[in-house]
Homo-oligomer: A and B are copies of this chain.
Amino acid sequence: MEYKYAQRMSNLKASEIREILKVTQRPEVISFAGGLPAPELFPIEEIKRVNQTVLEESGAIALQYTTTEGYLPLREWIANRMNSHLGTSFEADHVLITHGSQQALDLSGKVFLDKGDVVLCESPTYLAAISAFRAYECDFVEVPTDDDGMVIEDLERILNSVKNIKMIYVIPEFQNPTGKTWSLERRRRLAEAADRHRVIVIEDNPYGELRFEGESLPSVKSFDGQGYVLCTGTFSKIFCPGYRIGWIAGEKEIIRKFVLAKQGTDLQCNTIAQMEIAKYLELYDIDEHIGRIRDVYRRRRDLAVQVMEKEFPAGATFTRPHGGLFAWVELPDEMNARDVLTLSLEQNVAFVPGGSFFPNGGHENTFRINFSNMPEERIVEGLTILGRILQTLILPRK
């Protein structure tokens, strides 16, 4: 049967990651593919307690509909957290609770993007942001990006020459997929450029709390002049992703538009999930919890980098991220990471080829490594296998 879909559907294809993740559900597979947190760090006992407490204290409220904006004590916590960590000055009414920060991206598309509008992004950028925005039939222009973030001269050139630019999408902290972090200077200059050109910035920040070394930097938002910058965040990486609770924060006038868009989209987020997280934040010390996550991920990052340094051939270069979940590998230009994946899957090792992270294609010689999800011995085993495959395919051993 031929069904008539909307035109936008011809732009959407299955997320390569989620397709690979289906393969990696077999327990024998060593997966560097997903962006999955380490499940052994989920505070299960604490969550059992907060669930019972919330249901005892206010079960009838926790299981009922609530406001689209989200649970007020949670929005207050988020505003305070961003203010103390990111140099912002938010109140609860600047914050909308979203179904993971992914929904913050979808709603950003819904609120701002018309067909043919242009989104500027880092090159490469987060795969599922491309899917979220593409559903609103936008085009992408990739801004050349180095180790410090977008190259501002290139950004300015594009802002001056390309029409219909509606939005700039960036992940300044431990970027997905590269693991790179923007310098302070670049953050400031991005905010200034957005202000001058009156273009919305979506500052996506799912990994900022997971810094293993170095000093935290103020957000792009902290340099915002006229309210063009919106910030997203999520509990997925610092608490657990199964709840699907994230947020977007920005000028009240803009957030009111997001609330309108969310009303028609799904009315509101899960009430009890919001109340359980708020209760957890009241009863427990989330900084202590985040400290444990950081320690585990730091060791895994260290180990991943060590094994890659030892086993990867010299022609394969990779990032050494200061936080987050991901490292990024570049192979010689003529190679295709999809071919490497075919070989590595035969040996039960998975990762995500990098091509999908470039909205306009190319760069098939790259791939992304997640180091947060696998225990240490499997990181060593998997990256050793991958290194040996790369050795047979490329180049003299380093």
Decide if A52 touches B48 in the complex (CB within 8 Å): yes
Q: Could you tell me if B3 and A254 are in contact, using CB atoms closer than 8 angstroms?
A: yes
In the complex, whether A15 has a CB less than 8 A from a CB of chain B is yes
Over the window 32-60 of chain A, the binary record of Cβ atoms lying under 8 Å from chain B Cβ atoms (1 yes, 0 no) is: 00101101101010011001100110011
- A134 → chain B closest CB, angstroms: 7
Which of B34, B52, B244, B254 is close to A52, meaning CB atoms less than 8 Å apart?
B52
Number of interface residues of A (CB under 8 A): 86
Q: Which residue of B lies closest to A59 (CB)?
A: B44
Question: Which chain B positions have C-beta within 8 A of A48?
Answer: 51-52, 55-56
The 0/1 profile, CB within 8 Å of B marked 1, for residues 266-281 of chain A is 1111111100000000
Contact A131 B264 (CB under 8 A): yes
A100 CB contact (under 8 Å) in B110, B112, B266: B266
Contacts of A103 in B (CB 8 A): 265-266
Asked if A304 is at the interface (CB within 8 A of a chain B CB), the reply is: no
Contacts of A102 in B (CB 8 A): 264-267
A63 close to B (CB within 8 Å): yes
Q: State which of B1, B63, B99 has its C-beta within 8 Å of the C-beta of A251.
A: B1
Query: How far is it, in angstroms, between the C-alpha of A103 and the C-alpha of B254 when the chains are bound?
Result: 22
Q: Do the beta carbons of B263 and A131 come within 8 Å of each other?
A: yes
Question: Which residues of the other chain, B, contact A22 by a CB distance below 8 angstroms?
Answer: 67
Q: Is the CB of A253 within 8 A of B3?
A: yes
Provide the residues of chain B in CB contact with A5, threshold 8 Å.
Answer: 111-112, 257
Known contacts: A42-B60, A62-B242, A241-B65. The answer to whether A264 contacts B111 by CB under 8 A is: no
A254 to B2 CA separation, bound complex (whole angstroms)? 10
A270 contact set on B, CB distance < 8 A:
242-244, 270, 273
Structural contact, B63 and A264, CB atoms closer than 8 A = no
Contact of A64 among B226, B242, B271 (CB under 8 A): B242
A135-B40 contact, Cβ under 8 Å, with A64-B241, A227-B1, A272-B242 = no
- How many copies of this chain sit in the oligomeric assembly? 2
Give the residue name and chain of the B residue nearest to A244 (CB). B270
Answer yes or no: A209 CB below 8 A from chain B CBs: no
Choose among B67, B135, B269 the residue that contacts A264 (Cβ–Cβ < 8 A). Answer: B135
Cα A67 to Cα B25 in complex, Å, equals 10
B13, B113, B257: the one within 8 Å of A260 (CB):
B13
The reply on A162 being an interface residue by CB < 8 A is no
- Per-position 1/0 for A145-176, Cβ under 8 A of B: 00000000000000000000010000000000
Instruction: Give the residues from 82 to 105 in chain A that come closer than 8 angstroms, CB to CB, to chain B.
Output: 98-100, 102-103
Q: Quick check: B3 and A200 within 8 Å, CB to CB?
A: yes
Instruction: Name the residue in A56, A65, A242, A261 with the highest tally of chain B Cβ atoms < 10 Å from its Cβ.
Output: A242
The CA-CA distance from A391 to B129 in the complex, in Å, is: 57
Cα(A53)–Cα(B319), bound, Å: 42
Q: Can you list 11 A-B pairs with a CB-CB distance of less than 8 A?
A: A1-B253, A15-B264, A18-B68, A36-B64, A37-B64, A39-B60, A62-B242, A131-B263, A135-B265, A244-B271, A270-B270
Given contacts A6-B117, A12-B261, 4 further A-B contacts (CB under 8 A): A3-B228, A18-B68, A48-B52, A244-B271
